[in-house]
């Protein structure tokens, strides 16, 4: 049985319960575990699987699934916590006010086109009230497989929520802008574009963080 078929069964059983059917003891659709599942060694196939994923409640409120975008062999991967409302609405990264900020950060400071980096999220669906660690856990195997297949030299975590989930600590303020490690890959956390929209005074600090990223990439070549 493929993961896609299992996901379809989970959705069907959940719909039965919504209409009052009782088929066994309380069933948590978000608890289905993908660990040790054989995910494909193809980003295209992985994208297709995530587009038909119903492992958590975010599948009920999303408009679109945003799996990832950019250069599949990029040296740098940006990871945000979840898609924005604009991204969910338009099924595209780099849209809306926060998307424009990130695009300018990449193109004006790193001096590379946004299409040349790879971007994804901890979860591939927009939440209504903020994605939780449970949602992140449901999508984590997708993310780890993306990292494995893209093979970035540097992962950039956009915001405290992404940093805290990936590194399992709450030292974002102390470690922001520093080169750390995530699964033996260089890792840096910076302020997220949505945070910068609300707190524009932190743009200067983020500018210097982006310069550090630029220097790191230059040293690779």
Rounded CA-CA distance 89/103 in Å is 18
Q: How many domains does the chain have?
A: 1
Rounded CA-CA distance 166/183 in Å is 10
The percentage of residues in the chain with a pLDDT greater than 90, rounded to a whole number, is 74
Q: Is the pLDDT of residue 121 over 90?
A: yes
Helix axes 3-18, 43-51, angle to 10 degrees: 10
Beta strands in the chain (DSSP E): 69-70, 76-80, 118-121, 154-158, 180-182, 185-190
Decide: 50 and 42 in contact? Cβ < 8 Å: no
Rounded CA-CA distance 78/176 in Å is 14
Residue 180: partners with Cβ closer than 8 Å, 6 or more residues away: 167, 186, 187, 188, 189
The percentage of residues in the chain with a pLDDT greater than 70, rounded to a whole number, is 83
DSSP 3-state of 217: helix
Decide: 165 and 133 in contact? Cβ < 8 Å: yes
Nearest to 158 by CA among 182, 109, 211, 194: 194
User: Domain range for residue 198?
Assistant: 3-220
**Predicted local confidence at residue 54, as pLDDT:** 87
Rounded CA-CA distance 11/17 in Å is 10
Q: Sign (positive/negative) of CA torsion 4, 9, 15, 17? A: negative
Q: Is the pLDDT of residue 27 over 50?
A: no
Q: Is the pLDDT of residue 61 over 80?
A: yes
Question: Which of the 8 DSSP states describes residue 183?
Answer: T
DSSP 3-state of 190: strand
Query: Residue 210: which CATH number?
Result: 3.40.470.10
Question: Which of the 8 DSSP states describes residue 14?
Answer: H
Residues 168-214: pLDDT tens digits? Answer: 998 999 999 999 999 999 999 999 999 999 999 999 999 999 999 99
Residues 7-19: pLDDT tens digits? Answer: 566 556 555 545 5
Cα angle: 197, vertex 208, 116; to 5 degrees: 80
């Amino acid at each position: 049985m493929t993961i896609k078929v299992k996901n379809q069964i989970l959705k069907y059983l959940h719909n039965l319960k919504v209409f009052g059917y009782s088929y066994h003891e309380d069933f948590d659709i978000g608890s289905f575990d993908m660990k040790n599942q054989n995910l494909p060694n193809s980003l295209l196939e992985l994208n297709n699987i995530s587009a038909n994923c119903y492992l958590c409640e975010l599948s009920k409120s999303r408009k679109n699934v945003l799996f990832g975008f950019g250069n599949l062999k990029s040296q740098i991967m940006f990871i945000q916590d979840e898609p924005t409302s604009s991204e969910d609405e338009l099924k595209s990264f780099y849209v809306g006010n926060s998307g424009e900020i990130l695009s300018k950060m990449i193109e004006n400071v790193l001096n590379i086109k946004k299409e040349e980096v790879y971007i994804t999220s901890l979860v591939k669906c927009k939440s209504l009230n903020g994605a939780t660690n449970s949602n992140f856990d449901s999508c984590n195997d997708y993310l780890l497989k993306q990292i494995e297949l893209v093979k970035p030299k540097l992962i950039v975590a956009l915001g405290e929520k992404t940093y805290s989930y990936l590194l399992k600590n709450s030292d974002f303020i102390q470690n922001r802008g520093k080169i750390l490690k995530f699964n033996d890959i260089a890792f840096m956390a910076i302020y997220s574009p949505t945070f910068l929209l609300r707190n524009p005074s932190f743009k200067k600090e983020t500018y210097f963080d982006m310069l550090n990223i630029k220097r790191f990439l230059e040293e690779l070549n």
